[in-house]
Amino acid sequence: MFSPYRLTSFFHFFILVFGFVLLIARIGPTLPTAVAMLFLSIVLFARLTQYEFRRFAFWVFLIIPMSFLFGSIFYFLYLEQIWLMWMVTIVTTVGIWLYAENLYAFYHAPKKYQPYSLEYLSLALGVFAIFFFSAAAFGSQLFLQVEVYIPAIAIFLFGCALIISIFWVSKIDHSLSIRYGIMGALILTELYVVLSFLPVSYQVNAVTLSVMLYSFIGIARAELLDKLTKPVLRRYILLGSISLLVIFLTANWT
């Protein structure tokens, strides 16, 4: 039997492609278009999760994709290169489409749901979300001369909500999720403040924050799920070290 919820991912795809094309072509006012994209996406995800406002799961499954979408639109507004605009458009549209597809399967077609799909997707969207949002935050300091404490507070709140949601999706206890979420957000905020004083590209700084978020969530989640072994720890340390080396070289070239 066909379910009307099945069309949610299609509507997301159409709305985002249409909205980003309007932004790229500079057709119509920018801010109303961006707000309309966010609003319609919120409505679609709320409908997909059956408007269960009183359940914590509803807010978690809304925060993760909306953080990703909001960060990408915020970052998009600072871009000038057309190819980069299209890259953000593709990444954002595909990411939201995949999340909507898996959320549909989780809620309405559990036999088709692949175990751990939402966990992995939440982590991937979370890393992209912090990159987009922090790049736009660094850009606001550079282009709009915003005082550092304003985006720092925004980074803390954004990171805290995102990390708590990712941990909750990973089936980690709610109280532990909050504790580690605050801890991770503080680390991100401190790193953001430090990087904001360095003469480095705002996009390179954003990649550094993304690597930090990925490493923190990976190690903390493995520890909380009793899966933190020496090979796992070495993997995250090696990945983080290689990523930071690449970032350092890129910063020198730019």
Which amino acid appears at position 88 of this protein? V
Asked if 130 and 162 touch (Cβ cutoff 8 Å), the reply is yes
DSSP string of 167-226, one letter each residue: HHHTT--HHHHHHHHHHHHHHHHHHHHHHHTSSS-HHHHHHHHHHHHHHHHHHHHHHHTT
In three-state secondary structure terms, 138 is helix
Question: Which helix (H) or strand (E) is 4 found in, with range?
Answer: none
pTM of the model: 0.89
**pLDDT of amino acid 230:** 57
**C-alpha distance across the termini of the chain, in Å:** 55
**pLDDT of amino acid 20:** 94
Please identify which residue in the block is written with the tokens 């080396």: 245
**pLDDT of amino acid 215:** 83
Per-residue pLDDT 10s for the chain (254 aa) are 556 777 888 888 999 999 999 999 888 788 999 999 999 999 999 988 888 888 888 899 999 999 999 999 999 988 888 999 999 999 999 999 999 999 998 888 888 888 888 998 999 999 999 999 999 999 898 888 888 989 999 999 999 999 999 999 988 888 888 888 998 899 899 889 988 887 778 888 888 888 888 888 888 887 777 766 656 556 666 666 655 555 555 554 44
Determine the Cα–Cα distance for residues 254 and 249; give it in Å rounded to an integer. Answer: 9
**pLDDT of amino acid 94:** 94
**pLDDT of amino acid 189:** 92
Asked if 100 and 9 touch (Cβ cutoff 8 Å), the reply is yes
Question: Which helix (H) or strand (E) is 150 found in, with range?
Answer: helix 149-169
